[in-house]
Amino acid sequence: MASRTVPLVIAVDGPAASGKGTIAKALARHYDLPHMDTGLLYRAVALSLFRFGGDAASEFEALRAVDGLAQIDMGDEELRSEVVGSLASRISAYPAVRAALLQRQRQFAAQDGGAVLDGRDIGTVIAPNATAKLFVTASAEVRARRRLAELEGRGMPAHYDDVLLDIRARDARDAGRDSAPLVQADDADLLDTSELGVDAAIAAAIALVDARLAIA
């Protein structure tokens, strides 16, 4: 890849189980950039609240859980559980929690060599000037099937109907909140992965970023 004078920042947003994490990791590898999964930050706050006690219905207590972040092992398997994911979706609606996590995400995006970040508000709030923005989506049914396979793969069997309900509830919460809702940025490229396998989705993402680079 030719060296760039302007750092390459790639924002990858999308709903739960859309494939955005897999795509963001692949883009980071392809363009040799560091990657941040910002959903993991919200999940870590949720796990901190869950472990150290606190009421998710209280914005103040959710904010206090941000202080417990240092005690959470970011490789903890529990971070990937559905319970923690749902709790993360709830506490991420609080403006105080979002504000407390803003700086570290912006700093990561602003590092010298560039970066790839994935989440819900990267292209709209965290890195509005990103070089390339992808909004990765797929139908709720496809996402539920993928999430079910992922859960089964980790030895956490679940029922399709429950997973689909959870995905729909999460979509409604993430897109319906007032503070930094999940929304496609005006200048983001839409990538629907409903009909795509992993390799094809990654190839399509690289093609979209390359096209943005060609005009940047």
Give the binding site for ligand DC (CB under 6 A). Answer: 16, 38-39, 42-43, 85, 88-89, 92, 119-121, 170, 174
What is the nearest approach in angstroms of ligand DC to the Cβ of residue 144?
A: 13
**CB-hemisphere CA count at 13 Å for 83?**
8
What is the nearest approach in angstroms of ligand DC to the Cβ of residue 74?
A: 12
Which CB sits closer to ligand DC, 171 or 189? Answer: 171
Which CB sits closer to ligand DC, 32 or 111? Answer: 111
Structure tokens at 47: 């796990």
What is the nearest approach in angstroms of ligand DC to the Cβ of residue 88?
A: 4
Which CB sits closer to ligand DC, 15 or 114? Answer: 15
Which CB sits closer to ligand DC, 1 or 153? Answer: 153
Query: Measured over all CA atoms, what is the biggest interatomic distance in the chain, rounded to whole angstroms?
Result: 50
Phi, psi torsion values for 190, nearest 5 degrees: -85, 130
What is the nearest approach in angstroms of ligand DC to the Cβ of residue 79?
A: 8
What is the nearest approach in angstroms of ligand DC to the Cβ of residue 37?
A: 7
Nearest CA to 84 out of 175, 159, 156 is that of: 156
- Sheet containing 132-137: order of strands: 35-37, 114-119, 8-13, 132-137, 189-192
Which amino acid does the sequence have at 46? A
Work out the angle between the directed axes of helices 160-176 and 82-91 (0-180°, nearest 10): 20
Q: Do residues 16 and 147 lie in contact, with contact meaning Cβ atoms separated by under 8 Å? A: yes
Q: How far apart, in whole angstroms, are the C-alpha atoms of residue 35 and residue 115? A: 6
Which CB sits closer to ligand DC, 5 or 103? Answer: 103
